[in-house]
Amino acid sequence: MIMEFNSTDEKIITATFGILQNEGVVKATTKRIAAEAGVNEVTIFRKFQNKNNLIEVTKEYYVKLFLEKLERIFDYNEDDTIEEYLHNNFMGLLDLSDEDFSIIKVAIEEVRNIPEKKILMSRITTKVIDKLEEFFIFQIDKEVIREVDSRVLAGMCFSITFQSIILWKIYNKEPSVETTYYAKNFLDILYNGIKL
């Protein structure tokens, strides 16, 4: 659903997202959203018809912004080494704002509350894995790395980088080592393997 937003719409969407990220869908009543946005509840119904539409528009708005950031983080230059590229991905994810990670929180809550509806997490995951796979295919074609299943390699890197950072940022599970040390060792193991 593509919509043009004016300043009132943006206030409503911002208020909705604030409530979603802090308290979840149940607490996001139209009355509460209207109060947070400083608008009349009728304005919400006139613009968005109902709470469910408003929540979907809000999720779409914020996920689109987040996916654009992920696109930039996982883009690559043809001259990037694998170590540089993966290190830059890792650090780029670490530099995301708390609001960015709130989008992931909302996506996780969506999965938890409606297990069959994994739309947001699926879009985020697919975006990252597709970009990683594109980079690895390019590296295979350049004969920098041996021919491996690029999708499996992309999934593995996604799991380690993205999942680690989600644990740290969303669940406040700081690693027992400095993040640059963690990233350096992850890249060493990935690049050099575990065999003697």
pLDDT in tens, 72-104: 999 999 999 988 999 899 889 888 888 888 888
Does the pLDDT of residue 69 top 90, yes or no?
yes
pLDDT in tens, 17-46: 999 888 877 788 999 999 999 999 999 999
Which amino acid type is present at position 135?
F
pTM value surpassing 0.75: yes
pLDDT in tens, 149-194: 999 999 998 988 877 777 777 766 666 677 778 778 877 887 787 7
Task: Give the separation between CA 114 and CA 22, rounded to whole angstroms.
Answer: 18
Residue 61: closest CA among 14, 6, 19 = 14
Q: What is the pLDDT of residue 50?
A: 92
Q: What is the pLDDT of residue 1?
A: 43
The pairs formed by 166-172 with CB atoms below 8 angstroms and a separation of 24 or more are: 166/101, 166/104, 169/94, 169/96, 169/98, 169/101, 170/101, 170/104, 170/105, 170/108
Q: How confident is the model at residue 16 (pLDDT cuts 50, 70, 90)?
A: very high
